[in-house]
Amino acid sequence: MRPIGLRARVSAAFALGALILSACISLVSYESVRNTLFAERERTAVRATYYDATVVNAGIAGPAPDVLEVLRSLDTGTDRYVLLHLDGRWHSRSAEPAVDTAVPPEMQEMTAGGEAGAQRIRRDGRPALVVGVPLAGSAVFYEIISLGELERTLQTLALVLTAVAIMVAAAGAALGWYVTRHALRPVTAVAEAARGIAGGDLTTRLDPATEPDLAPLSAAFNDMADELARRQERDRRFAADVSHELRSPLQTLEAAASVLDKRRDQVDERAGAAITLVTAEIARFQALVNDLLELARTDQPAHREQVDVVVLAERVCRSRSLPADLVETAPGTPPTWSVDRRRVEQALGNLIDNAVRYGGGPLAVRIAPGYLEVDDAGPGVAEKDQATIFDRFVRGPASHARGDGDGTGLGLAIVAGHAAAHGGEACVTGRPGGGARFRFTLPGFDK
């Protein structure tokens, strides 16, 4: 399972924290509002009931009072019901059934003892308040006040508070996301700088002053980049020095051999043969030096530019006196590729030279999206040699069989190096119908 990222974790923690906090605040405020409202309502109800009780008490004082008339004279509105318990009978304004069960028995006992009181009950599934006031004699006056409106208000309040809590939690998550983006920005900068260095730009540096908290990281990163740059510069200088030291004497040999070669007719046959040998060996030595230096530099990043690979391949063929129609282009191949022109040219040239030397000449040079292939009709490469043939100074049996030591043993290693510089690889398989098929891939060719 993929671990959850730092940003997601921080955001979740922020959201959870905000949710808990806002839920607590909501609960507390809901409770206190609820209590205050109920207490307020209760006080009002009790006051109203006492007032009504005084009216009723006066109304039933005379002999044979019209109880219904007295109850009807009360201004109760729609949310209050009045009940009168007089001489063991219940009276109400309407002929409501079961009015006697509306008042809970413990309340009846309490008022029968001459005490006034209030109690919350549920009536028809809705909250209500019963207030009982004992009157003169054994009469008791009750009022049932519906609390439905209050409950609706509280429901709305609960709904609003819940919504607020959820919004606060979401805001917390957003804040976490935003804060971590800021917190992680320096790290993103480090990642970008590292990518720059991996891409070959060794001048990339971080400024430790911009992010004091990450100064040690920036400093360590810069040290690493400095060391890399120093090392690469040292390698480059070494290659340059070696090339100078080897190439200078070769130039003398080359020029002197050319002077000798011009005077071949002035020397005897043996000296002439020796001149031929010297000239050939100078050429081989030169090829070897060039290949060694090339190999020493293959780890440098590819210098990509837009290259018409078909034109390039045709040119490589022509420069080796091979027909340009060897080049086959697979359908869907883009006309220009983003590759290192010089290195692709050299890699392809090396494969074709290889085919000429050991494979009886190339049969086809194939260009397909992302890779180049060279087919030959030679003996092919045995399966056990296929993995090692791209190593340095490894020569296949075909090379030993020829015995002329024409190649340097580095050509295929250079092909592999150039492919690797593009992020690709070189490989060899058998060609259907005999011979070898060399291929090197160039990822990122279509960028």
Residues forming contacts to other proteins in the complex (CB under 8 A) are: 236, 240, 243-244, 247-256, 258-259, 262, 282, 286, 293, 303, 306-308, 311, 315, 319, 335-336, 341
In the complex with other proteins, the residue whose CB is nearer, 11 or 290, is 290
Closest CB 246 distance from other proteins, rounded Å:
8
In the complex with other proteins, the residue whose CB is nearer, 305 or 391, is 305
The pair of structure tokens assigned to 407 is 């190649």
In the complex with other proteins, the residue whose CB is nearer, 162 or 286, is 286
Which residues does 309 contact at the CB level (< 8 Å), separation at least 6?
Answer: 333, 336, 337, 339, 344, 367, 372
Query: Looking only at Cα atoms, what is the longest distance across the chain?
Result: 169
In the complex with other proteins, the residue whose CB is nearer, 90 or 285, is 285
Q: Do residues 441 and 424 make contact, with C-beta atoms less than 8 angstroms apart? A: yes
In the complex with other proteins, the residue whose CB is nearer, 13 or 311, is 311
In the complex with other proteins, the residue whose CB is nearer, 195 or 264, is 264
Closest CB 178 distance from other proteins, rounded Å:
40
Closest CB 335 distance from other proteins, rounded Å:
8
Closest CB 255 distance from other proteins, rounded Å:
4
In the complex with other proteins, the residue whose CB is nearer, 37 or 260, is 260
Count CB neighbours of 326 within 10 A.
Answer: 22
Closest CB 412 distance from other proteins, rounded Å:
22
In the complex with other proteins, the residue whose CB is nearer, 31 or 261, is 261
